[in-house]
Amino acid sequence: MDKPTLRRHCLRLWRTLDRARLSQQVVEVLLPWLKARGFRAILLYHPLPHELDLLSLTHLYPARYYLPKVAGPGLTVHPLGPLAPGPFGLLEPTTPAVDPGVLDLLVIPGLAFDQEGYRLGHGKGYYDRFLATVRAEKLGVIPKALLLPRLPRDPWDVPVNSLATEEGVLLGK
C-alpha cells in the first residue's frame, strides 16, 4: 500500500478509536517511564483531533515543556505558553523560539508507526526534517491498533528510539 492510501486508511481507523481513553492510558504508561529516566526538557505537541492528547503530562510530571511551531519548511521549538491558531488547524505557541538543543525528549505523534520506529505522518516532512537535526531521545506515541508491522519508507524518514502505546513503552534503537 502506498503512503497516501495508507494515510487515508489510518485516518479512518483513528476515527473508530476512543481517543480520550487511549490518551489517558498512554499518559499512565509514560509517567513511570519518564520518572525512571528523569527527562527534564520535553517537547510535546498540541494534538490534532485524531491524535493522542498527552498535554495532561504537564500537570503530572515535573519538567520544562515545549511545543513545536511550523516555521517555513521546518519546525521551531517554543516554551509552553499562550497558543494561537497556526497552519493546518494547529494551535501553536506564541512564546519566543529556543534552541532545540535544550531538549532531552521529543514526544512525536503520527498517523501510524511501525515496529522499527518509522512514522507515517501527514506527508509534509516537518517532523522528519526536525528529527534529523535534534539529538534528543525520540519517543513515538500511538495506539496499539496503529502500530503496524512495517511502513513504506523513504530515504529521509527518521525513526524514533522508542514507542509508547496504551500497553507500554517499547524500547528500541
CATH number reported for the structural domain that contains residue 75 in this entry: 3.40.50.10420
**101: domain range?**
3-171
Question: Which helix H or strand E contains 43, and what residues bound it?
Answer: strand 41-43
Q: What is the Cα–Cα distance from 104 to 108, expressed in whole angstroms?
A: 13
Predicted pLDDT at 124: 82
Predicted pLDDT at 19: 97
Of 14-28, 103-117, 119-133, the one with minimum mean pLDDT is 119-133
CB 149 within 8 A of CB 10: no
Is the whole model's pTM more than 0.75, yes or no?
A: yes
At residue 94, what are phi and psi to the nearest 5 degrees? -105, 0
**pLDDT above 90: residue 51:** yes
Residue listed under C-alpha cell 539529538: 135
Q: Please report which residue ranges of 47-168 form alpha helices under DSSP H.
A: 57-60, 126-131
Q: What is the DSSP letter of 51?
A: S
> What value does the CA radius of gyration of the chain take, rounded to a whole number of Å?
15
Predicted pLDDT at 138: 97
Query: Domain total for the chain?
Result: 1
Predicted pLDDT at 1: 82
- How far is CA 12 from its chain centroid? 19
Please give the average per-residue pLDDT across 56-62, as a whole number.
97
CB 70 within 8 A of CB 43: no
Q: What is the Cα–Cα distance from 78 to 80, expressed in whole angstroms?
A: 6
**pLDDT above 60: residue 146:** yes
pLDDT tens-digit map of 90-113: 788 999 999 999 999 999 999 999
Q: What is the Cα–Cα distance from 173 to 61, expressed in whole angstroms?
A: 24
Please give the average per-residue pLDDT across 109-138, as a whole number.
92
**pLDDT above 70: residue 172:** no
